[in-house]
Amino acid sequence: MLDFVGPMQAFELACENSTSDPPYAWQFCSVSGGMIRTSAGLDVSTTALADCDPSNIDTIIIGGGPGVHRAAAEPKLTNWFANVAPHVRRVCSVCTGTFVLAASGLLSGRRAVTHWSSCDLLSKMHQDVSVEIDPVFIQDGQVWTSAGVTAGIDLALRLIEEDVGHREAMRVARRMVVFLKRPGGQAQFSAPLRVQSSEGRVFEEISAWIQGNLRRDLRVERLAEKAGMTPRTFARVFRQKTGKSPGKAVEEFRLEAARRALEDSSVCLKEVAASSGFQSEEHLRRAFRRRLNVLPHEYRLRFHNGNEKARQTGH
């Protein structure tokens, strides 16, 4: 529900100072119209797509959710998008709504993003789409895609900025108590690591062992020995099962540990680096910059539990 209610709230706030001719009017639509029950159990009144006049539409936004793959397989919906898209200014998706745009052929040859946990699936199902995992949203021509759930608010604020200016977008962001431009990308929020859900008990055990031994030498030779494989076989099978190299997986585990330390403690960065297995504070900084596009001290300011300054930054 937040996929569409979040952007709607931003658009509503952009209209609150308009005495006449507000910049936005919106309606919720579905294939057949009528009451649609969201996954949260709330009913929403919708207009049938057949009753929507394309000449009166400026921007289309589609949300995601548990039913998105059924929606993407619904010809009435995907054909409507394919036919109407050329006649509107913008077509957007929030979270896994990207799958519907892809099924409609609107992402062919374009860059796109979706919820971090669905990026691999999107890439496998639609190999003609250039899928990126980190951006909060991407604009490629008239098509905008955004990351998971609350990223729809980030997207809406950018559309408001494009339509009515930076000052108004900033005012709406302040009213919603969110960043106008969220620092970093969605990678900094994707806590579960895919290696932890890989097939095979051996890799589950290796995953648990790595997390408990981050200070140790975790080169591929050591991990292969632990798994009872040759280094070459281990590296090959590990990549097949997890989609990444052992070295990259180890760095992600260390980053995850460092993030938790920054969120939950006030120890110095040197100690955070050591406890999470980085060779030095500088190696920690480089990993944060490369993987999360944010520096460790900036991450702590924004996400440290109980940090008053972090809460004020959100305002």
Domains and CATH numbers, the chain: 2-186 (3.40.50.880), 191-309 (1.10.10.60)
Enzyme catalytic residues: 95
Helices 220-227, 246-264: axis angle to 10 degrees equals 100
14-18: long-range contacts at Cβ-Cβ below 8 A with a sequence spacing of 24 or more?
A: 14/160, 14/164, 14/168, 14/169, 14/172
pLDDT at residue number 240: 82
Q: What does the pLDDT look like over 260-301, one tens digit per residue? A: 899 888 999 999 999 999 999 999 999 999 888 889 998 888
pTM exceeding the 0.75 threshold for the entire prediction: no
Q: What does the pLDDT look like over 240-257, one tens digit per residue? A: 877 788 998 899 889 989
69-77: long-range contacts at Cβ-Cβ below 8 A with a sequence spacing of 24 or more?
A: 69/99, 71/99, 71/100, 72/99, 72/100, 72/102, 72/103, 73/103, 74/31, 76/31, 76/49, 77/31, 77/49, 77/104
Q: What does the pLDDT look like over 81-118, one tens digit per residue? A: 999 999 999 999 999 999 999 999 999 999 999 998 89
